Structure 1
Amino acid sequence: MSDAALSGSKTPTARSLVSALQLDTRLLGMIGAFIVLCIAFNVFTDGRFLTPRNIFNLTIQTVSVAIMATGMVFIIVTRHIDLSVGSLLATVAAVMAVVQTQVLPVTMGLGLGHPAIWIIALVVGLIVGAAIGAFQGWMVGYLGIPAFIVTLGGLLVWRNAAWFITNGQTIGPLDETFAMMGGAGGTLGETWSWVFGVLAVAASMWLLVSARRRRAAHGFPVKPVWAEVTMGVIISGAILGFVAVLNAAEIPAQRLQRIFADQGQTMPEGLVMGYGIPISVLLLIVVAVAMTVIARRTRFGRYIFATGGNPDAAELSGINTRLLTVKVFALMGGLCALSAAVAAARLGFSTNDIGTLDELRVIAAAVIGGTALSGGIGTIYGAILGALIMQSLQSGMAMVGVDAPLQNIVVGIVLVLAVLVDILYRKRTGD
């Protein structure tokens, strides 16, 4: 029998399998690197890194940067940069803290714990964040000042504006309902987490089936049935596995006792309860879905990628690139406000150093996630995965006992290597 016949009788190769499943090879590489990173840290920490409790903490710590990273994708795709996001976060956090602890209780007479306080504070924060972002976008789009300069100035201005808003003081404690958006105090619980997981699996399967029907209806090639089933199993396993891990993170016995005591009850002997999905993670999922829909299904998203791919052609085709710049920066400002709410809620108060160096973490997350600095290319899920890799790297080094200066050195090296790998990958694939 000839070699050709022998090769034809072999089982499909890994490359053919990836091709059939239509998987992003760069995404697979990132996931592989993330898995290797987690295993390595788990070995060096004697199994403490991959415990449910640490994974639970890791997801909470990732949310704030990940939310801003989704907006940074749009900024970088349109060939701009935003160095002010950490400082803008600090300003908005200060505004929301002052509103809920001083303005509303004193000026408007709303007592502490009033159910409207957290809503008003969040709305005010979103308005302030979007307004500041739009102002910076106006300077970039209509005045022609480079985004690097505008946001570099914003980095200095908004960080110190936050100091003046709070008079250099730590503002807190924040409203209890507001604080549920950021930490272990606000979770869905085990039962509702499983409900969410099942609904997420059902929605994912519906999207897979709908996408297949749309492609078939328009005459586009579709995946083999086995490939669709395989993808469905992978997605379902990932969702339910994630829920199972978060449910396995047990609430400390002392905290459970306080919860029962606050309700005037006695905790049953030997009771064990898991946290479930944090509300902040649920918020990130909502943001990720919304930003993905904007990027792929709306005219605004198409304009963003068209402008990033070729600004001159986009303008000649009738796209108002100046107004688009204002909208993109306003969206970034709004996402900074959302991240400010999560970050401040996780701490329980607003401090002067909140969000410090977040601008570097956010940009690094977007770049590591595959967003091209040359513009026109980027994904929301890549940025979130990049944020998770960044946070895992820092948390793992902290658990191992690496000093903070060395941690920053490693993160800087990883960022440069990520850009190098991205350049080599795009040269190879011709993107």
Structure 2
Amino acid sequence: MTSTDSPSLTTAGGQPDTSKTPPAGSTRAVVGVTQFKAAFTRYKILALAVVIAIVWVFFNYLTDGDFLTARNLSNLLRQMAITGMLASGMVFVIIAGEIDLSVGSLLGLLGGIAALFDARYHLPLPVNLVAVLAIGAAIGCFNGYWVAYRGIPSFIVTLAGLLAFRGILLGITHGVTVTPISPGLVAVGQSYLPALIGIILAAAMFVVLATVTLRNRANRRTHGLKVPAFGLDLAKIALTGVALAGFIVVLNAYRGIPTPVLILLCLLGGLTIMARRTVLGRRIYAIGGNLEATRLSGVDVQRVKLVVFGLMGAAAALAGVMTTARLAAGSPSAGSLQELDAIASCIIGGTSMRGGAGTVAGALIGALIMASLDNGMSMLSVDTYWQMIVKGTILLLAVWLDIATGTKSA
């Protein structure tokens, strides 16, 4: 009878055949790499928080304590708010497997339009804001139409927009700064919340986050899913409370929460809910994860991509208004190369260039890292070319880390 057993792993002399058995050291290395990938994917936000702490301590040491003053941290957060707004929209574009190179020029154009509406046509502030946001969303949908319905690569469409939108801005402003800007519009970018209101908002945010965490535990238990240890969730709630308290204490030590930072936090909350709790959010991740499978499942992929670019346009409009308000003028050079900071923020924050993975919170942490580098190196009077070299190197390392860890989850 012929044996059906698997071939014996022995040599002709009866000795064990080790030619096909991986070395023990190699096996341990593979297991170690796998564990590192899993840990990095699970604790990515925590790893980024550690990076921020290291960067802040480093610059605080080199600036003799000036970096971590309340005034500088307040300015740092105001500085990152605009990049964070762009990154909040860019993260969904990248998750969907696309790219938008036009957002810097679009920011400048929409900021210039807001300045013209205010200085030349004297539109009331609410009308101005709604009009600029609508124009931004329409331009974003225009980009999305060419990508989704005409099949032109987003790289080409938005590269054309990068050039065209900057040209339109120079045309409508005649290459000169638009002034004066009304106090109401300036206040959008330069005002601060009173200390008491900041404390109330922080307390409300803590209650909401704690409630959501506990409700998630209950939902997972109801559906028979694995529930994390209660101590772990309790520690997460406690750390959130400590972080919010420190955030409020530091900002109130200067002048309070900057209005752009408050708007950015509202944007974070709204877009995070959209990403995690809505059909649109799940479809965006599905498109980036597997486009063909998503299409075959009946999802209107073209419409979703159109909406994603429209969202990016609205985010650029908001960032443009904030830029004009912060500068108290409409500058023809506003937003120059800011698309690179937005993309870098997303990648550093864990958004995968392959699509299908990323979070708004991660993108904002990435924006904070970029702003911290800009702020710290400026305080140290580091030459501009060195600043560009450092930021470019960090972006390259972030992409390499994404590829090396093979992250593909949201």
Mapped partners of 1:179, 1:220: distance in 2: 50
Deviation at 1:276, TM superposition (A): 0.9
Deviation at 1:322, TM superposition (A): 1.1
* Matching residue of 1:271: none
- Aligned pairs, number: 374
Q: State whether structure 2 residue 371 is matched by structure 1 residue 413.
A: no
* Matching residue of 2:350: 370
2:188 corresponds to which of 171, 177, 181: 181
Contact 1:118–1:175 at 8 Å: present in 2 too? no
Contact 2:95–2:356 at 8 Å: present in 1 too? yes
* Matching residue of 1:229: 234
Q: State whether structure 2 residue 148 is matched by structure 1 residue 168.
A: no
Contact 2:87–2:364 at 8 Å: present in 1 too? yes
* Matching residue of 1:290: 270
Which runs of 5 or more structure 1 residues have no equivalent in the other structure? 1-15, 106-116, 250-274
Task: Give the partner amino acid of 1:150.
Answer: V
Deviation at 1:378, TM superposition (A): 0.7
Deviation at 1:169, TM superposition (A): 1.4
Mapped partners of 2:409, 2:333: distance in 1: 43
2:141 corresponds to which of 134, 141, 144: 134
* Matching residue of 1:423: 403
Mapped partners of 2:352, 2:279: distance in 1: 21
Which runs of 5 or more structure 2 residues have no equivalent in the other structure? 1-34
Mapped partners of 1:144, 1:227: distance in 2: 47
* Matching residue of 1:50: 68
Deviation at 1:217, TM superposition (A): 1.4
1:153 corresponds to which of 140, 143, 160: 160
User: Superposition RMSD on alpha carbons, in Å?
Assistant: 1.9
* Matching residue of 2:219: 214
Deviation at 1:224, TM superposition (A): 2.1
**Percent of counterpart pairs with the same letter?**
39
* Matching residue of 2:9: none
- Counterpart of 1:402 in 2: which secondary structure? coil
Deviation at 1:158, TM superposition (A): 0.3
Deviation at 1:307, TM superposition (A): 0.6
* Matching residue of 1:344: 324
Mapped partners of 1:227, 1:343: distance in 2: 40
Change beyond 3 A, Cα 1:23–1:180: farther
Deviation at 1:306, TM superposition (A): 0.5
Deviation at 1:297, TM superposition (A): 0.6
Task: Give the partner amino acid of 2:115.
Answer: A
Deviation at 1:192, TM superposition (A): 1.0
- Larger Rg over CA atoms: 2
Contact 1:309–1:375 at 8 Å: present in 2 too? yes
* Matching residue of 2:200: 195
Task: Give the partner amino acid of 2:244.
Answer: I
Mapped partners of 1:175, 1:219: distance in 2: 57
1:66 corresponds to which of 63, 66, 84: 84
- List per-residue Cα deviations over 1:88-143 (Å, max 9, x = no partner): 011111111111111236xxxxxxxxxxx111111111011011100010001111
Deviation at 1:430, TM superposition (A): 9.7
Change beyond 3 A, Cα 1:430–1:227: closer
Contact 2:176–2:331 at 8 Å: present in 1 too? yes
**Given the two structures, how large is their TM-score scaled by the length of structure 2?**
0.88
* Matching residue of 1:109: none
Q: State whether structure 2 residue 379 is matched by structure 1 residue 393.
A: no
1:81 corresponds to which of 99, 112, 115: 99
Change beyond 3 A, Cα 1:310–1:52: same
2:340 corresponds to which of 355, 360, 376: 360
Q: State whether structure 2 residue 57 is matched by structure 1 residue 39.
A: yes
Change beyond 3 A, Cα 1:24–1:242: farther
Mapped partners of 1:34, 1:341: distance in 2: 28
* Matching residue of 1:27: 45
Mapped partners of 2:377, 2:325: distance in 1: 25
Contact 2:358–2:409 at 8 Å: present in 1 too? no
* Matching residue of 2:151: 144
Correspondence 1:103-122 to 2 at 5 A: 103-104=121-122, 117-122=124-129
Q: State whether structure 2 residue 347 is matched by structure 1 residue 329.
A: no
